[in-house]
Structure 1
Amino acid sequence: MNHAEVLLIGGRAGVGKSTVAWEVSAQLQAVEAAHAVVEGDLMGQVHPAPEGDPHRAGITERNLTAVWSNFAELGCRRLIYTNTVSVLPESAAMFERAMGADVRIVRVLLTASDATTYGRLSGREIGSELDREVANSVRKARLLDEHSPADTVRVATDGRKVTDIAREVVAVTGWGDPVGPAVRPGPPRS
């Protein structure tokens, strides 16, 4: 495989993007399928926002380009990327610039009910951030539902085991066969 491929895992806050991504990685590691994982939210996590880049899109792309370059130097051709809105059409151009114009983009939108995401968010958010996160989650769920491209595969997470969800996501990618040298990401941060 000469061209790069990226699996974009999007979805509202509390849907399980990071958890699913790490399980997808574990399943790919089990079959020695080379890949890398990037938590997209961390690519632009800087305060204050760079001058002229209030939404941090520029710094996110610069960081993604640098990180992908390092992975590609190791022979990696597959990337798992998590970010709430990564599946939206306007994200494609960033991945084409960072990974090459012929990058194959696979979009997976994880979905969950308001009740499920509220339960997950209330388990991880403390202090004054819970109400803001819940409101943002509801707003983003609507946005994603209305604007995700037709080729986006929707995967429900309500009441399901993460291993089953990840198996469904891996099947969408077609990455179940080993390709290239293994690039093993580190464990998720707490």
Structure 2
Amino acid sequence: MTRAEVLLIGGRAGVGKTTVGWEVSARLRAATVAHCVLEGDYMGQAHPAPEGDPQRVALGERNLTAIWSNYAELGYRRLIYTNTVSVLAENTAMFQRAMGADVRIVRVLLTASDDTAGVRLRGRELGSELEQELLGSARKARLLDERAPEDTLRVATDGRSVPDIAGEVAAATGWLPPPDARRA
């Protein structure tokens, strides 16, 4: 395989993007499927934001391009990328520039109710930004619901186990051999 492929796992804060991404990675590792994992939220974290990049978009793309270049040089062709808004159509060009114009993109939008996301965030956000995270999570949930492209697989996470969710997400990639082939 020479064509790059990326699994974009998006969703509101508290939906389980990072946890599901790592569980998908565990399944791929168990099946000896070569891949890389990037937490996209960290690609543009710099304060203050670079001059002319108030939303850290350009810095995030530069970092993605540099890191992917290193992975690709070593022969990797599959990437799991977790980031709140990564699934939106306007981000397609960033992945094409970073990974190649013919990159295969699989979009998965994890969803959760306000109650579920709130419980998860309250367990995670122990510092001063809980209220900001709760408000931002609800706002991003609405934005993602309205603007995720039609080819985006929506996966509800309420009341489900991480392995169950990851199984559905991993199946969407086609990266795992069929169950019969794994037993052979």
| Normalised-by-shorter TM-score class | over 0.9
Question: Which amino acid in 1 is paired with 2:118?
Answer: Y
TM-fit CA distance, 1:74: 1.1
Cα offsets for 1:74-103 (capped at 9, x unmatched): 110000000000000000000000000000
Show CA shifts across 1:140-179 (max 9, x none).
000000000000000011111100100100100001039x
Residue in structure 2 matched with residue 4 of structure 1 by the alignment = 4
Match of 1:185 in 2: none
Provide the rounded CA distance (Å) in 2 between the counterparts of 1:147 and 1:112.
Answer: 16
Q: TM-score, normalised by structure 2?
A: 0.95
Aligned position for 2:79? 79
Q: Which residue of 1 aligns with 2:155?
A: 155
Matches of 1:21 and 1:127 in 2, distance apart? 24
CA distance in 2, matches of 1:127, 1:153: 33
Aligned length: 178
Query: Aligned residue for 1:126?
Result: 126
User: How far is the alpha carbon of 1:127 from its aligned partner?
Assistant: 3.6
**Corresponding letter in the other structure for 2:103:** V
Cα offset, 1:126, TM superposition: 1.8
Whether the 8 Å contact between 1:33 and 1:177 is mirrored in structure 2 is no
The CA deviation at 1:2 is 1.1
The letter for the 1-side match of 2:28 is L
Letter paired with 2:142: R
Structure 1 counterpart SS, 2:43? helix
Root mean square deviation, CA, Å: 1.0
Q: 1:57-68 alignment to 2 at 5 Å?
A: 57-68=57-68
- The equivalent residue for 2:89 is 89
| CA distance, structure 2, for counterparts of residue 2 and residue 175 of structure 1 | 14
2:19 partner letter: T
Q: Percent identity?
A: 73
- Whether the aligned pair in 2 keeps the contact of 1:8 and 1:106 (CA below 8 Å) is yes
- Give the match for residue 111 of structure 1: 111
Q: Which amino acid aligns with 1:116?
A: T
Aligned counterpart, 1:182: none
The match for 2:38 is 38
Deviations 1:1-45 (A, max 9, x none): 110000000000000000000000000000001100000011001
What's the CA shift string for 1:91-137, capped at 9, x where partnerless?
A: 00000000000000000000001100000000011243111100000
Q: Secondary structure in 2 aligned to 1:175? A: coil
Mapped partners of 1:145, 1:133: distance in 2: 18
123-132 vs 148-157, which deviates more?
Answer: 123-132
Contact 1:23–1:166 (8 Å) recurs in 2: yes
Which runs of at least 4 in structure 1 moved beyond 3 Å after TM superposition? none
Q: Quick one: distance in 1 between partners of 2:44 and 2:127? A: 24
Instruction: State the shift of 1:72 in Å.
Output: 0.5
